[in-house]
Structure 1
């Protein structure tokens, strides 16, 4: 079973890898997906309003107070979106969702809840297509009290081993214990893992973060406005049209934010960023470009004052699809040691 989160792409160089292949599956396999995600009433209201959902139970607190729920009820389709997104680490290698046979909403979801997802393989079919097999899943959504809030039955096409577009024979799985993507819990379920523990970080190793991220002008505009940025370059289309010598670009702090976010699938067991140094932005990122990032581990040492943690120096570089370097920086990270931190208590 390919339960490894990286492939080898060179000496001391690894690329993030996600998902199980069809051959890795068996009926009854259960996966606990991590991390969970909070749902706020703002999320709920925005989802309803953006979709022009006129059921005011979701966004009118005064109306909702007169109902049996006493407060706005979560939009069911928002819950379904979250659950299907949350399972994507293990089910990354799907070609398509063929259908959703049933969705049951079994318990209310409110702003302030935390959602978790679990999936169980209930059926496997070889199918006629040599690239994929067909898997039937039951997906359970649970809240922070372990109460089931939704149950979904869906059918997926899953790529067979070696058939996914990202599979290459010269990039074998990095089959090391520190790189496991899941562990088996006491009930026999696979639990997804996120990030390297301090002991897993070795100086000189480079981790290619995958996949990349395309940044649209509207995303940049929104983040600039939320930051109270007044320069019209970031949010005034008429200004850019008038001053055509000023090329549209992505808000620079957002570039740093996106690059940092890309690193968190490998650098996810961080207690805290202790600080950035040497941030370089060699050229602007253009709206619509896709950025890719990689990080090289520098010196690592135990923390003198925190026995359950260590300190790692890391350099991160980001490129756009054409290969141009668009961001580089160094960070000092405080990282949990293996078996330490909040993970067991939080159900990880």
Structure 2
């Protein structure tokens, strides 16, 4: 399974559909709110949301949806990234509710070689998130610095930090056989 791409593997106009989707639960939403100290009653207080909002129910915090989509895109876009350089724009287009399932796709908008280092380049992408019914809920653009194939080879090839698996049937010395 591929995890990320080198600069050469990106083509302007390519679209990566991220799968699987994620069904958002009330627990997920409330945990994210608590972890990020976002205690707005629109997200946390059902009584408030039912009585005082146009939606009549809790709305999932938008930054959770953005975070889900960013995470979904990692295997296709930034799994080999040297750096995430910029979030150019972020728009929450429609509300997401508990029980909605989010799906994402990323389009390659542009790519440029690094001006300072020949072993990397910058890829400009746009990620869109949709609910199960096709409603667009979130759009963001970002720039990611990714390695060239030369960079990967100079550092030992794919996954240089991954431990070697033993094939001789013996234990690595940490107990067992």
TM over 0.5: yes
Distance 2:53 2:123 in 1: 44
Map of 1:254 onto structure 2: 64
- 1:16-52 Cα offsets, whole Å, 9 max, x none, are xxxxxxxxxxxxxxxxxxxxxxxxxxxxxxxxxxxxx
Structure 1 residues 197 and 293, CA, compared in 2 at 3 Å: closer, same or farther?
same
Map of 2:26 onto structure 1: 217
Please say if residues 311 and 333 of structure 1, whose CA atoms lie closer than 8 Å, have aligned partners that are also in contact.
Answer: yes
Distance 2:95 2:161 in 1: 40
Structure 1 residues 329 and 244, CA, compared in 2 at 3 Å: closer, same or farther?
closer
Map of 1:345 onto structure 2: 160
Distance 1:239 1:307 in 2: 55
1:244 Cα deviation after fit: 6.6
Gapped regions of structure 1 (runs ≥ 5)? 1-180, 182-192
Distance 2:87 2:159 in 1: 30
Map of 2:35 onto structure 1: 226
State how 1:120-135 maps to structure 2 within 5 Å.
none
Q: How many residues align?
A: 157
Distance 2:53 2:36 in 1: 25
Distance 2:111 2:123 in 1: 4
Map of 1:334 onto structure 2: 145
Segments of 4+ moved more than 6 angstroms: none
Q: Secondary structure at the match of 1:305?
A: coil
- 1:65-114 Cα offsets, whole Å, 9 max, x none, are xxxxxxxxxxxxxxxxxxxxxxxxxxxxxxxxxxxxxxxxxxxxxxxxxx
Give me the CA root mean square deviation. Answer: 1.9
Structure 1 residues 244 and 305, CA, compared in 2 at 3 Å: closer, same or farther?
closer
Larger proportion of strand: 1
Distance 1:344 1:213 in 2: 27
State how 1:77-96 maps to structure 2 within 5 Å.
none
Q: Secondary structure at the match of 2:149?
A: coil
Map of 1:264 onto structure 2: 74
Please say if residues 50 and 58 of structure 2, whose CA atoms lie closer than 8 Å, have aligned partners that are also in contact.
Answer: no
1:306 correspondence with 2:117: yes
Larger proportion of helix: 2
Please say if residues 225 and 235 of structure 1, whose CA atoms lie closer than 8 Å, have aligned partners that are also in contact.
Answer: no
State how 1:1-348 maps to structure 2 within 5 Å.
181=1, 193-243=2-52, 245=54, 246-267=56-77, 268-341=79-152, 343-347=158-162
Please say if residues 46 and 57 of structure 2, whose CA atoms lie closer than 8 Å, have aligned partners that are also in contact.
Answer: no
Gapped regions of structure 2 (runs ≥ 5)? 164-177
Tell which structure's C-alpha radius of gyration is larger: 1
Q: Structure with the greater relative contact order (CA < 8 A, sep ≥ 6): 1 or 2? A: 2
